[in-house]
Amino acid sequence: MSQEPKVIYLKDYQVPSYLIEATELRFELFEQETRVSAELRGRRNPECKSQAPELVLFGHEEVELLSLKIDGRTLAESEYQQQAETLTLSSLPEQFVLHSETRIHPESNTALEGLYKSDGMFCTQCEAEGFRRITFFPDRPDVMSVYRTTIEADRDNYPVLLSNGNLVASGEAENGRHWVTWEDPFPKPSYLFALVAGDLQYIEDSYTTLSGRDVRLLIYAEEKDLDKLDYAMQSLKKAMQWDEEVYGREYDLDIYMIVAVDFFNMGAMENKGLNIFNTSCVLANPKTTTDAAFQRVEGVVAHEYFHNWSGNRVTCRDWFQLSLKEGFTVFRDAEFSADMNSRTVKRVEDVGVMRTAQFAEDAGPMAHPIRPDSFIEISNFYTLTIYEKGAEVVRMVHTLLGPELFRKGSDLYFERHDGQAVTTEDFIQAMEDASGRDLSQFRAWYHQAGTPQLEVSDQFDPESGEYQLTVRQSCPPTPGQEKKTAFHIPLAIGLIDPSGAELPLAEGQGTQVLNLTETEQVFCFTGLSQKPVPSLLRGFSAPVKLSYPYTRDELMFLMAHDSDGFCRWDAAQKLAVDIMQELIAAYKPDQTMQLDERLITAYRAVLEAEGLDQAMVSKVLSLPSEAYLSELAEVVDVDAIHQVRNFVRRTLAAALETLLLQRYQETDIAEEYSPEADAIARRSLKNLCLSYLISLEKEEYLELAKAQYAKADNMTDMQAALSLVVHSVFAADAEAMLADFYERWSGESLVVNLWLSIQASDPKPGALQRVEALMQHPAFDAKNPNKLRSVISVFCAQNPVNFHAADGSGYRFLAQQIIQLNKQNPQIASRMLTPLTRWKKFPQQRQKLMIEALESVRDCGELSKDVFEVISKSLA
Ligand code: 7MK
Ligand code: ZN
């Protein structure tokens, strides 16, 4: 940056002065350059009242302007103003055709935004503002245009040429080149534009929509990955059907394409008719893919498909509205996954992400509301807050309205705004209009950042049989927001009597949703004979932190009796957290610890119980992660957390050894791999038991893990066994297994990523040296985001004891990497900074070292906007 980057404010929004009705693009792809010709048919926007309207075209500095014409007349340089990232035209006629010729260099584009090369193929990523790296255009989502795109390239190297919509023409050109033309009839913002050119193979299927239209479904990948596409295809068809059944939404083009690419900054992209996916979110095959990745593929395929309505047909007016499409679409994909698999498991997993990572974001220097009111670089706002908290906010609307009125609201929203670029306000308004409910106070969720806290206390009067719940809400300050107004919070609760029976509440239901709207409220329940145990925040009905002074015995009682699956799991978590926090507070190295027997008793009961859902057993028996314990801590003591968690795991394993082994053997059945929920649950429980057993450091369990590794016919069991041995004390066996694994899988890039991650997350001393060595390994590629994430991000986020080494070596390492990446790939650089931004949570000495690391990045020279924004907010 030659100057300080500019802050963009929502309050400065103005409608575009010109609309672009049609865009005709022509790409000539070469190895040394790409020529782009763009013809924009524009006209005055009747809604823009400006007297002297200007057409602002955005264009990245790397787009070289070769010529510019209006209605066929070449413009002299004096007839437009070119600045660093914009080109401004004034005195335009009411209607015009603007024609530009430009040159770009996808072959050297390492930022992976705009048009770039991934492993020899051309592909694009335009969201949010990548289109301006392709050509000059009013690259803002409220300018929607139809596109006609011609691509010309060498036929041998790029036999497949794709863009949005329908293929309308193709032909041969000179010098062994060929061309195709695609036409997308739906007006769309430029961020949904896509182009792919490469040597690709595909699988094909079809889907008949509710109204009887046949849609061709094509999934493209490199030839070597053709055997990993079936699961994505099945997932796509399930998603198409689900959206018809649950939202009444059909697909609208005759063709739907997905392309798998290796180099991708994010997970996937919903480009109209031509989704582009990170291979990690589309390829799946039992031999090479873990259960977690299968689930990710199903969820991401559905997410991108659902965007066709929540994002593409109805899009965002400006990028402050990002959560309009992302929060809603995450809610939709979460419900889809819940319907396809286990609802409670999906909820438990999503709540884990909220509590561990989103709450941390809300408490850090980058905290922002789900509808931010300013940003420097929009790429920095593809956050857990926009996505996951955004989805929780939509879920609360669903809870407040109930399923029928929510559906009425979504129907109205899609109908009213089809083909438009709208705001989160339009979404809420549609929900209000369709339901007749008042959501005025609820709107605070959109503009207030931070995690609300609920403090609950209760009182029982045996005389009158009256039970009172008092709920106080507050929300801590966040950057730029000192004071908050009260939120409208749906608090789902149940009351359980001492026999374990659930009391009937409103309308005889076991669960009642309390509407919290004031800072303090009292709720009365009458006709009780004994004091109940309250079951609070059922299903995680709101993204809040709730405290109630449960005793450990009450938590055990809830684990056994709560009818809400989420709350049973939550009670187990709270019990473990409470016990571990006490140990963490008292922790001194080399001092013996004592585990509260009640945790053993509680875990034993779960292990012994017959007929429990195996998926839930494995969730309930999973100890809170180090990351979650860190989030809960006032000041994070990484070593104490790590040591205590290991101690608790080992102590539980010793006390429950026989049961764990028994469960392991019961779940270790020879069966053909299936990615269905019950099979996943079985493997998850099996590998959890193995992890407890391995912690006992006995040879026999090492042998068990080695045997599992040797006989595994699927990557879930294989990687679990490998990871447990590598993270154990059995160093020699770990080395041998790692070598074997690499030899077997060196040709499978995604499997190699598991191999890298397992090593980068090894908590044993010396991890940084191992990470540095891995970065010299031939399997590592510093230009590939998946490799960077597998090594650097995993080390910094999943290896806390080593990343937070007291000498600051982990921090300095990360700072160096960021400095490197800042030029090469700003989006990835900025994302990877996250762990350092949380410096306020650590003890003083660590704080000082983390700040020094941030300062070294700040002072390294020219910062990208992405890195600048995160650094400056972290050091503010
Ligand atoms: C998910 C944007 C895209 C972060 C998480 C995704 C991105 C970033 C997928 C890229 C998406 N629109 O569909 O949300
Ligand atoms: Zn999305």
Considering every ligand atom, which ligand is closest to the CA of 385?
A: 1
Nearest to 610 by CA among 662, 650, 558: 662
- pLDDT confidence band for 657 (50 / 70 / 90): very high
- Cα–Cα distances in Å, from 161 out to 39, 73, 182, 573, 781? 20, 31, 9, 51, 27
Q: Per residue in 840-853, pLDDT tens?
A: 999 999 999 999 99
Q: Per residue in 531-590, pLDDT tens?
A: 999 999 999 999 999 999 999 999 999 999 999 999 999 999 999 999 999 999 999 999
Query: What pLDDT does residue 634 have?
Result: 98
Using alpha carbons only, give the angle 703, 660, 611 rounded to the nearest 5 degrees: 135
Considering every ligand atom, which ligand is closest to the CA of 192?
A: 1
Fill in the amino acid letter for 335: E
Q: Per residue in 681-733, pLDDT tens?
A: 999 999 999 999 999 999 999 999 999 999 999 999 999 999 999 999 999 99
Residue from 112, 307, 382, 828 whose mutation best tests the ligand 1 pocket (most atoms within 8 A of CB): 382
Using alpha carbons only, give the angle 146, 150, 156 rounded to the nearest 5 degrees: 145
**Average pLDDT, stretch 403-423?**
99
As a 3-state breakdown, the chain gives helix, strand, coil percent values, each rounded to 5, of 45, 20, 30
302 Cα to the center of ligand 2, angstroms: 10
Q: What is the distance, to the nearest Å, from the Cα of residue 215 to the centroid of all Cα atoms in its chain? A: 29
Query: What pLDDT does residue 507 have?
Result: 87
Q: Per residue in 576-602, pLDDT tens?
A: 999 999 999 999 999 999 999 999 999
What are 674's two structure tokens? 């299936």
Is 60 exceeded by the pLDDT of residue 861? yes
Q: Per residue in 225-244, pLDDT tens?
A: 999 999 999 999 999 999 99
Strand 274-278 vs strand 255-261: parallel, antiparallel, or unpaired? parallel
**Average pLDDT, stretch 154-173?**
98
What are 448's two structure tokens? 């207030």
307 Cα to the center of ligand 2, angstroms: 7
Is 70 exceeded by the pLDDT of residue 3? no
Conformation bin of residue 264: beta by default, left when phi > 0, alpha when psi is -120 to 50:
beta
Fill in the amino acid letter for 542: A
Is 50 exceeded by the pLDDT of residue 1? no
Number of CB atoms found within 10 A of residue 765's CB: 10
Q: Per residue in 729-771, pLDDT tens?
A: 999 999 999 999 999 999 999 999 999 999 999 999 999 999 9
**Average pLDDT, stretch 610-618?**
92
What is the residue with the minimal CA distance to atom 11 of ligand 1?
Answer: 269
276 Cα to the center of ligand 1, angstroms: 11
Helix (H) or strand (E) holding 58: strand 54-58
Is 50 exceeded by the pLDDT of residue 87? yes
Q: Per residue in 11-23, pLDDT tens?
A: 999 999 999 999 9
Query: What pLDDT does residue 720 have?
Result: 98
What do you get for the CA distance between the two ends of the chain, in Å?
A: 19
Average pLDDT, the chain: 98
**Average pLDDT, stretch 20-42?**
99
Torsion over CA of 168, 174, 178 and 180, rounded to 10 degrees?
Answer: -20
387 CA: nearest ligand 1 atom? 5
* CB-based pocket (< 6 A), ligand 1: 127, 266-270, 303-304, 307, 326, 382, 387
Q: Per residue in 456-491, pLDDT tens?
A: 999 999 999 999 999 999 999 999 999 999 999 999
Query: What pLDDT does residue 4 have?
Result: 85
Is 80 exceeded by the pLDDT of residue 2? no
Q: What would be the CATH architecture of the domain defined by 324-333+344-547?
A: Sandwich (2.60)
What is the residue with the minimal CA distance to atom 2 of ligand 1?
Answer: 269
Residues with catalytic function: 304
Residue from 190, 271, 316, 326 whose mutation best tests the ligand 1 pocket (most atoms within 8 A of CB): 326
267 Cα to the center of ligand 1, angstroms: 6
Three-state DSSP at 607 gives helix
Alpha-carbon gap, residue 11 to 596, rounded angstroms: 55
Conformation bin of residue 436: beta by default, left when phi > 0, alpha when psi is -120 to 50:
left
Three-state DSSP at 513 gives strand
Three-state DSSP at 34 gives strand
Alpha-carbon gap, residue 126 to 112, rounded angstroms: 9
